[in-house]
Amino acid sequence: MNPRRRKLFCEISPLCYEISVAKCCMMRRLRDCFSTERFCHLRSDAPLPVVVCKHKSLIRRQLGDVDMALQENKAVNLALAAPKISGVLIRPGEVFSLWHLVGKTSARKGYREGLMIRHGRPDKGIGGGLCQLSNLIHWIVLHTPFEITEHHHHDGVDLFPDFGRQVPFGVGTSISYNYLDYRFKNNTAQTFQLIVYTDEKYLNAELRAEKPLEVKYHIQSRNEHFVKENGVYYRCGEVWRECIDKSTGKALESRLIKTNHAQAMYDEKYIDKSKISNNTEQTRSEQS
């Protein structure tokens, strides 16, 4: 932290942080109370006929030096939260809100202390680890025509080394009840259904629809590499999304959705040496 920068109120003490969080939660409730948005809430046990996209992510991952007990607790938290979402119908014009469906996490509800991110650093707290749920849903949504209306990045930091990475770096999400939410809107003419569940190893999700989409989407990373700036490694690269016409195979759109420049917060030994730029030592002014 820059010693010359005046501390924010939330940084003064743990109590000030809790006061700030309570204020943010209250303001979000007030905004939602007066919002004209229609949030999805109806669920159905009967799956819609067409699978649009499905994916799964490993629940227990070795993230640098993170205590594996937090990973076990995360497995419990995900198993509690997934059924709150599974089966939900997202009808035309409706908005999906993760926190509207999951609700507040607490020890009373069975949630445990898991990994969380505070002020760009790993921390722990009750209900920690649910960003894996929002990450997976976001990955599914990137393969749809939905409009993402709220999405918070872990911008500026690469907290953990890769471990069995299946999706590009930079498409993660940051959530915190209830003021940092993940939301998207169904602006199409048909109803969709999100199914989420856990098994012994994976968090699973699939999006279903009434009829097939006429297009498909490919998400890929480009020009991914590490650079060393003033003695510090940064992960750089781009994430692109292509929209392809299923009937012709032609690309209808290719769009840059994220540019990464994130400080690697883990030991240099975890960095893939083949991805280190030849021009490893540079400054921000030289880059610009």
Q: Which residue has the tokens 């999006």?
A: 207
The residues, ordered by sequence, that sit 6+ positions from 206 with a Cβ below 8 Å of its Cβ are 51, 52, 53, 54, 55, 140, 194, 195
What is the per-residue pLDDT for 5? 67
**Mean pLDDT calculated for residue range 63-89:** 90
Element housing 252 (H / E):
strand 251-264
C-alpha to C-alpha distance for 191 and 15, rounded to whole angstroms = 44
C-alpha to C-alpha distance for 90 and 185, rounded to whole angstroms = 8
Question: Residue 37: how many CB atoms within 10 A of its CB?
Answer: 13
pLDDT tens, residue by residue, 163-185: 767 889 889 899 999 899 999 99
Q: Which residue has the tokens 């921390």?
A: 123
pLDDT tens, residue by residue, 16-45: 878 888 899 999 999 999 999 999 999 999
Average pLDDT across the chain, whole number: 90
Contact 236, 223 (CB under 8 A): yes
**Mean pLDDT calculated for residue range 254-274:** 89
Sheet holding 183-185: strands in order across? 38-39, 94-97, 183-185, 147-150
The residues, ordered by sequence, that sit 6+ positions from 103 with a Cβ below 8 Å of its Cβ are 84
C-alpha to C-alpha distance for 33 and 48, rounded to whole angstroms = 31
Query: What's the Cα-to-Cα distance from 8 to each of 20, 40, 56, 119, 201, rounded to whole Å?
Result: 10, 36, 38, 11, 40
Residue ranges of domains in the chain = 36-287
